[in-house]
Amino acid sequence: MAATSTGVVNGALIYILTFSILILFGIVFTMVYFAVRYRKSRNPVATEIAGNKWLEALWIILPTLLALSMFVYGLTGFNFLRNAPSDSITVKVHARQWSWLFEYGNGKKSPDMVVPLGKNVRCELTSDDVIHGFYVPAFRIQQDTVPGITTQVWFNATAEGSYDVLCSQYCGLKHSNMLAKIFVVSPAKYDDWLKGEPIELAGAVQKADEKPGEVLLRERGCVSCHSTDGGPMVGPTFKGLFGSKVRVITEGKKRAVTADDAYIQKSIVDPAADIVEGYPNIMPPGKDVFSPEEFHEVLEYIEGLR
């Protein structure tokens, strides 16, 4: 069977653990043995030992070789994990506060990752804001996403099912909400999914009957701070927003505004202009997040949330 990230990482762990346990027991055994064997009643006069060149050489060389073997073993695994095979499928992974977005070669975007069974998948990682960590414990892969550079990691899933994706770098308030799933499905099912056909994915973030505006809010990461059902989150809920009176702070002064299209659009483009009272000024400015047509869909969707 071809090597996988899981095999490589588990192998290194077992190798190091085995030697650690052997050495631990070796040292403890020798210590106890010497304490008993040379105890005062049995050995009242201590022997002076000047030294033993061979013994000293041995306990320098052996542990050095052992530590080096661990290094070589680790380096081999590291190189394996860093170099994706050339026949890999590439999936772009966008990290941002506080959600993941997966983008496929044909432009399809999804909040969950869907991959075919037994194929090599290369993840190209980028971050929109701060450092995050793309972490898939079941595949033993973990790689930071760093703003400004592209990092990568790859895996080959050998069993169908769904696997958790976590963020392994503390990235702010809702860091623990930065979750997604990787669905490993048969290659045929994967092709259907990629073409946009609905397939059964138990527990997926994506819903079948989403409106275009809803998809946009999810894709652009708005729903990690805003709920659409009135629930409390980092930012105000969108439910009932349209037409309501909002108390905001504009240039340090409190005032009330009616949430019409213009207000909502301005709140997205320049969030710091009117800061909703009681909320922190942490929303990322979204000058180019939506095209004019997309703005239309988003506003229509928010208007509908009564």
Residues forming the site for ligand HEC (CB under 6 A) = 97, 220-222, 224-226, 234-236, 241, 246, 259, 264, 267-268, 271, 275-276, 279-284, 286, 289
CA-wise closest residue to 284 among 298, 271, 274, 302: 271
In whole angstroms, how close is the CB of 248 to ligand HEC at the nearest point? 7
125-144 residues near Cu ion, rule: CB under 5 A: 132
CA-wise closest residue to 233 among 244, 245, 217, 249: 217
The whole-angstrom separation of Cα 141 and Cα 9 is: 9
Q: What are the CA-CA distances from residue 2 to residues 73, 85, 89 (Å)?
A: 17, 12, 17
Of 93, 167, 182, 299, which one interacts with Cu ion (CB under 5 A)?
167
Token pair recorded at residue 42? 């049995």
Nearer to ligand HEC, 56 or 210 (CB): 210
In whole angstroms, how close is the CB of 171 to ligand HEC at the nearest point? 10
In whole angstroms, how close is the CB of 100 to ligand HEC at the nearest point? 13
The whole-angstrom separation of Cα 283 and Cα 272 is: 8
Site membership for Cu ion, residue 96 (CB under 5 A): no
Q: Which does 132 bind (CB under 5 to 8 A by kind): Cu ion, ligand HEC, none?
A: Cu ion
Q: Which does 271 bind (CB under 5 to 8 A by kind): Cu ion, ligand HEC, none?
A: ligand HEC
Of 178, 216, 276, 298, which one interacts with Cu ion (CB under 5 A)?
178
Nearer to Cu ion, 213 or 235 (CB): 235
CA-wise closest residue to 84 among 150, 132, 12: 150
Site membership for Cu ion, residue 94 (CB under 5 A): no
Pairing status of strand 99-103 against strand 89-96: antiparallel
Site membership for Cu ion, residue 225 (CB under 5 A): no
Helix, strand, coil percent values for the chain (each to nearest 5): 35, 25, 40
Residue partners of 7: CB distance under 8 A and separation at least 6:
1
Q: Which does 99 bind (CB under 5 to 8 A by kind): ligand HEC, Cu ion, none?
A: none
If you ran DSSP here, which 8-state letter would residue 153 be given?
E
In whole angstroms, how close is the CB of 302 to ligand HEC at the nearest point? 7
Q: Which does 279 bind (CB under 5 to 8 A by kind): Cu ion, ligand HEC, none?
A: ligand HEC
In whole angstroms, how close is the CB of 226 to ligand HEC at the nearest point? 5
Q: Which stretch binds Cu ion (CB under 5 A): 3-11, 36-44, 151-159, 165-173?
A: 165-173
Nearer to ligand HEC, 85 or 285 (CB): 285
Site membership for Cu ion, residue 182 (CB under 5 A): no
The whole-angstrom separation of Cα 279 and Cα 301 is: 23
Q: Which does 77 bind (CB under 5 to 8 A by kind): ligand HEC, Cu ion, none?
A: none
Q: Which residue has the tokens 């793309």?
A: 134
H helices within the chain, ranges in order? 5-37, 53-82, 187-194, 212-219, 261-269, 292-303
Please tell me whether residue 170 adopts helix, strand or coil conformation: coil
Q: What are the CA-CA distances from residue 179 to residues 60, 176, 259, 280 (Å)?
A: 47, 7, 31, 23
Site membership for Cu ion, residue 171 (CB under 5 A): yes
In whole angstroms, how close is the CB of 217 to ligand HEC at the nearest point? 6
Sites of contact with Cu ion (CB under 5 A): 132, 167, 171, 178
